[in-house]
Amino acid sequence: MEIKYIENGSVTSAKGFTANGICAGVKASNTTKKDLALIYCDKVCNSAAIFTKNLVKSDTIYVTKKHLENGTAQAVVVNSGNANACNPDGYEKAEKMCSLAADALGVDENDVIVASTGVIGQPLPIEPIASGIEKLKGTLSKDGGISAAEAIMTTDTVKKQWAVETVLDGKKVTIGGIAKGSGMIHINMGTTLSFVTTDAAISSEMLKSALIEAADVSYNMVSVDGDTSTNDTLAIMASGYAGNKEITEKNDDYKIFTAVLTDAFKKVAKKLAKDGEGATKLLICKVDGAKDDKSAKIISKSIICSSLVKAAMFGADANCGRILCAIGYSGAETDVKKIDVSYKSAKGEILVCKDGNGLVFDEDKAKEILLEDEIEILVKLGDGNASAEAYGCDLTYDYVKINGDYRT
């Protein structure tokens, strides 16, 4: 399987796609931050999406689900600064965003994917979106993926974009995407917003299946704060311009496509976790020796979600008791007398627990390891051969500050 990441690749790297993002004034009239993006393909694409499992959803999700019932789309319109969730006119405004984008691009409004992100429960101002879409009209380009990535950011400190090349049926295929996420991210399709494009020829059914498989071991393994967003949307459009034989079943080409998608999504998952609100450290919890995949996932998630573990990592405190505690209440069956725990970073690795019992270890060495900005929590069980990874971040003072005045 060939995987080549494209330097400065983005959602426009695949053949047929252009994009752009601007400051329309959705966030505030006195800001210059980009807050409106369009992504467009010059043909109707096979498309699919997966969404938050939160019962409280943005109306953008209901509109997008309706538009994707036939498995096709040609454009994405997305704003930041306002989630368009819990509003009496939310559905109407989500549909209006689609019709405005459709008119500007000359496409069918039923082929427009719509998404929003930002503050929940505040009316979405449609006027700046309408004028913004008019400004975006005619400005879409292959270089516009970067601006689109910036326009979907809320409390993100860095944009998340990527593109990768592989080979299917002897043809070069490109997959690219953008994502946003910093807070309100939790395991349950915890991706906030992510838009993916490809020039592979693949059916909408296989796109949906590949999304689910890839997200299950990447986006779904991320937690920043234990809150599942109302707006989580992961959407993909396939132009088919690569010229490979269309993937309509789970054959070898499907497996390659899904594996490449998974590799990219795992990289994005780490970026989302590392850019968690107020975070100073990326935490990667690796669980080995579980009795099955489900148990491995449950345990790794439980550890990465623990507020006590996250706080300990912020303070560089090698407290194995918090790891063991999180394993114990995870709900997974495991022999607690066979648990080993280590911490690892660029400064080395240290074993702090053996067979379920804490060890005497070099506290200074442990602190040195945990002061790094990327830490692996390594858990070895004695139950089987299954493994899993989960991605999170430390819990800092700044997280409280950011969310204490999020609306103001």
Report, as residue numbers or ranges, the catalytic residues. 191
Rounded CA-CA distance 101/93 in Å is 12
Rounded CA-CA distance 13/165 in Å is 9
Q: Left, alpha or beta for 403 (phi > 0: left; psi -120 to 50: alpha)?
A: alpha
| E strand map for 204-358 | 233-238, 282-290, 340-345, 348-354, 357-358
Tokens of 249: 């079943």
| E strand map for 241-281 | none
Rounded CA-CA distance 236/275 in Å is 23
Amino acid (1-letter code) at residue 403: N
* Spatial CA neighbour of 236 closest among 60, 64, 79: 64
Rounded CA-CA distance 312/315 in Å is 5
Beta strand 233-238 with 36-51: parallel, antiparallel or unpaired? antiparallel
Taking the CB of residue 285, how many other CB atoms lie within 10 A of it? 26
